[in-house]
Structure 1
Amino acid sequence: MASDPLGTAMLDYQRGGLRGDCRYVDGTETADGHIHENYFTAVGEGDDDFSDRLLALDGPLLDVGCGAGKHALFLQAHGTEVVPFDVSPGAVAAARARGVADAHVADMFDMPYPATRFPNLLANGTQLGLGGSIAGIRALLCEFARVTTSDATAFVDEYDPAALDDPGEMLGYRPDPREGVAHRAFHFEYDRDGERLVGETLHFLLVSPDRLRDACVGTPWTVVKVDHRGVYYRARLAK
């Protein structure tokens, strides 16, 4: 798993603990990967409203980029059918080890599911920004639309560059002259038993809620609700 440092770190954590430091890296700048905080805390910690909204959704729910499976575990525990996948083999192995038996490896840009398969969709982890451009986010939203029903709900999340007081506080931040748009680039490294695993560089487009609405133009989706928590926000989309 030399090309999957983040997923390998998740799997090690699940098996008993990290075997070295996992971190975000952008040039000489680094930050802790927060494996426990981002992937192994309970759903609803500090955000009970969101857990209630998830439980109000009918299954089967598509969990896009499921990571170590915390949302899938939460939904399973409450009787909601969930179909979780991630591009990271290590993350999928960690999710399965935690009891998410249906977790599997897949690519959100080319999902292996038939049209209108899912009544609801969750894409948590600011993955929408991996579209890389407004057009790329629009194309990803169209792929989300393809696999969901005509009355589907989707929850996505993002960072709002317009709400970022100090860009220097966000590792990998890159400015953009357009209003409500910025970029973020970094890769993961995991020093595992003396071997350094280095991942590919990830490029995220950061968009404000207004720019997310622009990206929805030409897709079946409409932004119906935005919940801000500082620079981070979660958006509910409906068809």
Structure 2
Amino acid sequence: MENDIFGNAILDYQLGSYTEDIKTYSSLDEEDVIPVPYLFRKFKVMPSLEQRALKLCKGRVLDIGCGAGSHSLYLQEKGLDVTALDHSPGAVEVCKLRGIKKVVRSDFYDFKNQTFDTLLMLMNGIGIVGELKYLDQFFTHIKTLLKPGGQLLIDSSDIIYMFEEDEDGGYWIPDTENYYGEVTFTMEYKKQKTKELAWLYIDYNTLQRAAQSSNFNCELVSEGEHYDYLAKLTLNLQ
């Protein structure tokens, strides 16, 4: 697990060897920290959007990008049939150690031949898409994982607030061909760094248009306090 920066950090915490947090560096010229203990949070201290999403889960659930497994663990304790999915070996090991019964190590696009009533992608899980141009590929694969009448629950953020606002209430966005929510970042833990990763933050209107073009209904379930939101997507069967 030499390059499994995220997995190494949460596995250290699980095994009682927590000494530092994960540092992140993004193309937005921001340095930030992911507090590792926060990834092990209980339901009562989760953001309201996450709580709402977990309460909407039904039937057989796939927790995509499960991380330390806090969402999966809550759903399992509530009696739901949940599968925790992550490509990180460390994350998979942590989920097993925390008692999650169904844990799968796989890249999202390599996971096939199973269907679910609820697909869960929290903590900006749609970030794995990387760039807007890959949304069609993303939705195509989502369709193979959904049971008839199934739902995809996603939270994300409109990061327009990170750009300078002008006197008219607009924003100064760099003049590039890229969508402003397309970000690259690296993670650092114990002096080891990941390679640069592409990550997508998507505003709700852009998500809704992309979803509709792929024959999904897209509903704004709830909005958070800081440009974040929870959306529910279902296939349009008409």
TM-score by shorter chain over 0.5: yes
Match of 2:204 in 1: 209
The two structures have a TM-score, normalised by structure 2, of 0.83
Match of 1:182 in 2: 181
Map 1:51-130 to 2 at 5 A: 51=51, 53-114=53-114, 117-130=115-128
Match of 1:224 in 2: 219
Displacement of 1:87:
0.9
Question: Please, which runs of 5 or more residues in structure 2 have no aligned partner?
Answer: 166-172
Q: Which residue identity is paired with 1:33?
A: I
Give the aligned CA root-mean-square deviation in angstroms.
Answer: 2.6
Displacement of 1:94:
1.0
Displacement of 1:197:
2.2
Give percent identity, aligned residues only: 25
Secondary structure at 1:203 match in 2 = strand
Match of 2:36 in 1: 35
Displacement of 1:29:
5.1
1:133 aligns with 2:101: no
Secondary structure at 1:100 match in 2 = coil
Q: How many residues align?
A: 226
Match of 2:168 in 1: none
Question: Please, which runs of 5 or more residues in structure 1 have no aligned partner?
Answer: 168-173
Secondary structure at 1:109 match in 2 = helix
Displacement of 1:48:
5.2
Conserved 8 A contact 2:25-2:185: yes
Displacement of 1:178:
7.4
Q: Which residue identity is paired with 2:198?
A: H
- Give distance in 2, aligned partners of 1:152 and 1:204: 26
Q: Which residue identity is paired with 2:145?
A: V
Secondary structure at 2:32 match in 1 = strand
Aligned CA distance change for structure 1 residues 46 and 19 (closer, same or farther; 3 Å) = closer
1:48-73 C-alpha deviation (Å, 9 max, x unpaired): 57535534432210110110100110
